[in-house]
Copies of this chain bind each other. A is one copy, B any other.
């Protein structure tokens, strides 16, 4: 994939965040690793989703320095870059403040795996990462420390929002969409009682099948 193709893909994928209601105003961003190079492509800061074009996307190195682009990159670029530096199998990263996921994140509570679709996509609970301030590597480190060795491609950063990873940007967007979907369903289910657990062996079996038999193998 050329950088130009990645600019188009990353730009288009932001529209999926809008379509699924995961973002308001200019919050939320998608990035992709440029295969074979120490570069990433990410949304510019503060540009509205209506006006976003492939040409607006910013190319950065994996320390988050701008290599190409007219605007400043997303203020979350440092977190994305940290993930690419420390998880070489990751090709895409997404960040949102999607509503139900943030409702769990504000309580610092993981979303339990009580839906077969959740076993398929996440293979486990969706875990919580630490509270971390923007401005240094704290957020990136919190994401990596939480997701390393975890089946889930999504982490709820406490009091903050969601980061998802994938083998490419599209897989990370899918994980962000599914994360909000299951966070909402499990939230609603728990409002009127306790969801029934799924046995660990069944979660394992569903996840193995989904990741290996049906879909293409994911980054994680």
Contacts and interface: CB of A to CB of B under 8 A. Distances in A.
Interface of A: 20, 24-25, 27, 45-46, 75, 97, 99-100, 102-104, 106-109, 114-117, 131, 133-135, 158-161, 174, 177-178, 181, 184-196, 198, 202, 205-206, 209, 214-215
Contacts of A206: 133-134
Contacts of A187: 188, 191-192
Given A116-B159, A209-B134, A188 B25 contact: no
A103 B202 CA distance: 19
Contacts of A198: 131, 159
B158 A99 contact: no
A173 B46 CA distance: 15
Total copies of this chain within the assembly = 4
A193 B104 CA distance: 9
Nearest to A107: B193
A115 B134 contact: no
B107 A115 contact: no
Q: In the complex, which of the residues A46, A134, A178 has the most CB atoms of chain B within 10 Å of its own CB atom?
A: A134
Contact of A99 (B24, B161, B185, B190): B185
A46 to B, nearest CB: 7
Contacts of A178: 24-25
Contacts of A134: 116, 206, 209
Given A115-B160, A192-B187, A214-B75, A24 B106 contact: no
Given A106-B186, A134-B209, 20 more contacts: A24-B178, A99-B181, A99-B188, A100-B188, A102-B189, A103-B185, A103-B192, A104-B189, A106-B114, A106-B115, A106-B196, A107-B192, A107-B195, A109-B193, A116-B159, A131-B196, A131-B198, A133-B206, A159-B196, A191-B192
Contact of A117 (B103, B135, B161): B161
